Amino acid sequence: MALVHKLLTGTYSLGKCPKPSIALCPLLGSRFANYCSSSLPKTVAVPDKASSQRKTEGDLQGHHQREVGLDISSPEEKPEVSFDKAIKDEIKDHFRRLKDEIVNHWIGPEGRPLHEVLMEQARVVWQFRGKEDLDKWIVTSDKTIGGKSEVFLKMGKNNHSAVLYGTLSSDAPQDGESGRSGYCAMISRIPRGSFERKKYYDWSQFNTLYLRVRGDGRPWMVNIREDTNIMQRTNQMYSYFMFTRGGPYWQEVKIPFSKFFFSNQGRIRDAQYQLLLDKISSIGFTLADKVDGPFFLEIDFIGVFTDPAHTEEFAYENSPELNPRLFK
């Protein structure tokens, strides 16, 4: 009970308290988890003869080491951690974001007038102009199942693009279970609102996905996921192919949403369903062409637009035998 009392009053010392995890409070973000390391005050040593000698030795070792030495806390001093302040700051931030969402709802999406949003013919959803844009994405490969493929994501030249690169290896893991391997992927993070609520993209007024990319000639799979709140939809997605030309020139890729086919657990289903554009949660790119070796894909932006020449609603046929629900 004494330990709980010290944690609640915020007087427990850093040396005995591990860094809190986000799982301790799912409604709070990473600010609370990182508060211990970011909110600690730096101690300043009292100048005396011994400290003056240490400073002189640090000057001889270089400027960088002096900076490191200033961040070292004295073992006699035990800085205090205020968890109450961390929680209050996080809650204030969530309520501020909730207020912005309510205001933007009345004014219009993203603070723009509603009539402008309804009349727009194109929209840039993702672009890459800094590290904060890279943080909206995650990369993964078959290393999660014991494979040997590697994938990395970094900013391109002059911070005007993102470069996805790595090495593809189709060697199967030696675990006695997996017989196939060789994939790398880049997936956008699901947008979050206040109090970590899931948000979605509404592309119902557009009919085409628009990308500006530069690749090495490899074919990529473009994957779009819908709302994943329902357990049965976690392995479902809509996919289509993107063929890069290779070479030094950029290419503009336009893929109508009507072309995306439905798959479940990586298998194309006989019964096809139309993509619901008002509940888009994420988009991703997967390389799995079974060609071992290095690869790269450079992306300028990813957007959506309305193509007036494209009138097709759905590219795949259905029949009562394949999909009885559509013909009831």
Amino acid (1-letter code) at residue 162? A
Q: Which fold has domain 122-327?
A: Jelly Rolls (2.60.120)
pLDDT, position 115: 55
Q: Where in the chain is the domain with CATH 2.60.120.430?
A: 122-327
**Which contiguous run of DSSP H or E holds residue 184?**
strand 184-188
* Per-residue pLDDT at 37: 46
Instruction: Name the pTM for this structure.
Output: 0.65
- Asked if residues 229 and 285 have their Cβ atoms less than 8 Å apart, the reply is no
Predicted local distance difference test score (pLDDT) of residue 51: 46
**Beta strands 150-155; 162-168: pairing state:** antiparallel
Q: Nearest 5°: CA angle at 298, between 297 and 303? A: 110
Confidence at residue 31, expressed as pLDDT on a 0 to 100 scale: 47
Tokens linked to 102 = 């309510």
Phi, psi dihedrals of residue 269, rounded to the nearest 5°: -90, 150
CA distance 304 to 284: 15
Neighbouring CB atoms inside 10 A of 33's CB total 18
Q: Residues 252, 203: contact at Cβ < 8 Å?
A: no
3-state helix, strand, coil in the chain (%, to 5): 30, 30, 40
What is d(CA 178, CA 171) in angstroms, rounded to the nearest whole number? Answer: 10
Per-residue pLDDT, 266 = 79
Q: What is the DSSP letter of 24?
A: G
> What does the DSSP 8-state code read for residue 235?
T
Give burial (CB, 10 Å; 0-12/13-18/19+) of 117: middle
Q: What is the pLDDT of residues 231-248, one digit of tens each?
A: 556 678 999 999 999 888
Q: What CA–CA distance (Å, rounded) separates 176 from 169? A: 18
Question: Residue 314 CB: number of other CB atoms within 10 A?
Answer: 14
pLDDT recorded at residue 78: 59
Please state, in angstroms and rounded to a whole number, the distance separating the CA atoms of residues 244 and 216.
6
Given its phi and psi angles, is residue 129 left (phi above 0), alpha (psi -120 to 50 degrees) or beta?
alpha
Task: Tell me the two tokens of residue 133.
Answer: 């844009």
Q: What is the pLDDT of residue 35?
A: 46
- CA-based torsion, 5, 7, 12, 17: positive or negative: positive
**CA–CA gap between residue 82 and residue 76 (Å, rounded):** 20
Contact yes or no for 162/178 (Cβ under 8 A)? no
**What's the pLDDT score for residue 121?**
83
Supply φ then ψ for residue 136, to 5 degrees.
-85, 5
Show the low-confidence residues of the chain (pLDDT under 70).
1-81, 101-119, 194-195, 228-234, 321-328
